[in-house]
Amino acid sequence: MAGVNIRSVAKTFGETQVLKGVDLDIRDGEFISLVGPSGCGKSTLLRIIAGLEQQSDGNILLDGTVVDRMRPRDRDLAMVFQSYALYPHLTVAENIAVPLLMRRLNTTERSLVGGLLPSGRAKREEIAEEVAKVCDALSISMLKDRKPAALSGGQRQRVALARAMVRKPSAFLMDEPLSNLDAKMRVQARGEIAALHRQLGSTFIYVTHDQAEAMTMSDRIAVMMGGEILQVDTPDQIYQMPQDLRVAEFIGSPKINVLQAAMSENGALSLTSIDTASNPVHAAFRPEAARLAGEVEAPLGGTIHHIENLGADLFVQVTTVNGDLVIVRCDPAGIRPAIGDKVGIRLDETRLHVFGSDNRRIAGAFRLEGGR
């Protein structure tokens, strides 16, 4: 069990700055996701925590101890790789046994003659038992004698998980472990990993570019972009109170609607007369915070350009008079709009987010001006 503290960690590769002084406190037993687009530095940060990469600046603390100079072996962390990194020439059982063999057996016991030493043999039997236990827990016992090449993607992922679990590390690091699975398997594996976290109670640090994985599994999410952490919060807060326009845009599917807006002194927003704006801002609202209305009385209007029917939801894409694309969620049970219809869009003003030109959230209540 260990909390992880990241203190202004920076990393440069030659000229490029991959991490620009990241601070993050991960609580003991927490499931935290590092989420962001590719190249945002999330994997680099994970590798620095693991000790596979050395930071250019800053400190990593495990359980309150600075581990900057410590090798991965001594940090008591386990990692699941995107490629799973299973040893292709070893069977499933042998793969899972490696972390135990490497730590418990000395050089002689690991060598060819080691099997003859009584001490080595006793340890090997003990290890085989623990491997069997982990295999049972993940229901991969029937795969024990297979080589990784003979496994499906989902099975490999479980074996990689088993290899990480077998040592009972203080924290798990996961580098996009589900990205090689098909969509169906991914949803199933998401549930399994979350359940595993609840069962083990260990710290999980989970790197992903998939906001759905981050939202569904995490206690907290750290959204990273351009080598910085933009916001660390619970999934609810990240979704409902994004502190940065880039966070708002990254989290949520379909994407949040972002429109240019003009804000007057008294906090009134105009989505239409933006050319003369003294104070240009971004107004953002999620598809479910908007609804279709009659053409005249709405603050925003346009033509329906496309309708995505997902069964439970209808996502109506409206091209506004300004040429922006706005997505509105509709209830499929209601009146079905048709492509080409001219519609108005009404917004729930309490769920309207306003971001300044520096992408930061502008707090306060806003009122939309209707006039068109």
Partner 1 sequence: MSLSASQSRAGLALIAPASVLALLFLIAPLSSIFVLAFTDYQLGDRSLRFVGLGNFRALAGDSTFWKSLSNTLIYSAVVVPGSMLLGLVSALLIDAGTSLRSFYRTAFFLPVMASLLAMAVVWEFMLHPSFGIVNATMKALGFAPHNWLKDGGIALYVLAIIGIWQSFGFNMVLFMAGLSAIPRDLYDAAEMDGTPNAWARFKLITWPLLAPVTIFVAVTSVIRSFQVFDTVHALTQGGPNKATEVLLYTIYAEGFEFFRSGHAAAITIVFIMLVVGVSLLRFVSLKKNGASA
Q: Which stretch binds partner 1 (CB under 8 A): 9-17, 46-54, 184-192, 310-318?
A: 46-54
In the list 89, 121, 306, 336, the residue contacting partner 1 (rule: CB under 8 A) is 89
88 contributes a contact to partner 1 by CB under 8 A? yes
**Checking DSSP bridges between strand 171-175 and strand 77-80, what pairing results, if any?**
parallel
Q: How far is the CB of 201 from partner 1 (least distance, A)?
A: 21
Given the complex with partner 1, which of 113 and 149 has the nearer CB atom?
Answer: 149
Q: Is there a contact between 118 and 87 (Cβ–Cβ < 8 Å)?
A: no
How many other C-beta atoms can be found within 10 angstroms of the C-beta atom of residue 119?
12
Q: Is there a contact between 285 and 329 (Cβ–Cβ < 8 Å)?
A: no
In the list 22, 24, 26, 79, the residue contacting partner 1 (rule: CB under 8 A) is 79
Among 337, 338, 298, smallest CA distance to 321 is for 298
147 contributes a contact to partner 1 by CB under 8 A? yes
87 contributes a contact to partner 1 by CB under 8 A? yes
70 contributes a contact to partner 1 by CB under 8 A? no
What is d(CA 316, CA 338) in angstroms, rounded to the nearest whole number? 9
Q: How far is the CB of 139 from partner 1 (least distance, A)?
A: 23
Q: How far is the CB of 12 from partner 1 (least distance, A)?
A: 16
Q: How far is the CB of 61 from partner 1 (least distance, A)?
A: 19
168 contributes a contact to partner 1 by CB under 8 A? no
83 contributes a contact to partner 1 by CB under 8 A? yes
What is d(CA 218, CA 237) in angstroms, rounded to the nearest whole number? 12
Cβ contacts of 64 within 8 Å, gap of 6 or more: 3, 5
Q: How far is CA 302 from CA 35, 59, 256, 306, 344, in A?
A: 34, 52, 18, 12, 6
Given the complex with partner 1, which of 15 and 275 has the nearer CB atom?
Answer: 15
What is d(CA 4, CA 67) in angstroms, rounded to the nearest whole number? 10
Name the token pair of 178: 């589900």
In the list 77, 174, 292, 327, the residue contacting partner 1 (rule: CB under 8 A) is 77
**Checking DSSP bridges between strand 220-225 and strand 228-233, what pairing results, if any?**
antiparallel
Cα-Cα-Cα-Cα dihedral of 351, 356, 358, 359, to 10°?
Answer: 20
Q: How far is the CB of 144 from partner 1 (least distance, A)?
A: 17
What is d(CA 287, CA 326) in angstroms, rounded to the nearest whole number? 8
Q: Is there a contact between 258 and 328 (Cβ–Cβ < 8 Å)?
A: no
Q: How far is the CB of 208 from partner 1 (least distance, A)?
A: 17
Q: How far is the CB of 88 from partner 1 (least distance, A)?
A: 7
Given the complex with partner 1, which of 72 and 254 has the nearer CB atom?
Answer: 72
Q: How far is the CB of 84 from partner 1 (least distance, A)?
A: 8
What is d(CA 223, CA 242) in angstroms, rounded to the nearest whole number? 10
In the list 71, 125, 350, 363, the residue contacting partner 1 (rule: CB under 8 A) is 71
54 contributes a contact to partner 1 by CB under 8 A? no
Given the complex with partner 1, which of 43 and 320 has the nearer CB atom?
Answer: 43
Map residues 94-113 to x or -, x wherever contact with partner 1 holds by CB under 8 A.
Answer: ----xx--xx---x--x---
Cβ contacts of 302 within 8 Å, gap of 6 or more: 318, 319, 320, 321, 326, 342, 343, 345
Q: How far is CA 41 from CA 37, 53, 80, 224, 363, in A?
A: 9, 12, 18, 7, 29
72 contributes a contact to partner 1 by CB under 8 A? yes
135 contributes a contact to partner 1 by CB under 8 A? no
In the list 149, 335, 363, 365, the residue contacting partner 1 (rule: CB under 8 A) is 149
Given the complex with partner 1, which of 85 and 200 has the nearer CB atom?
Answer: 85
Map residues 195-224 to x or -, x wherever contact with partner 1 holds by CB under 8 A.
Answer: ------------------------------
* Footprint of partner 1 (CB under 8 A): 47, 50-52, 71-73, 77-79, 81-83, 85-89, 98-99, 102-103, 107, 110, 147, 149, 163, 167
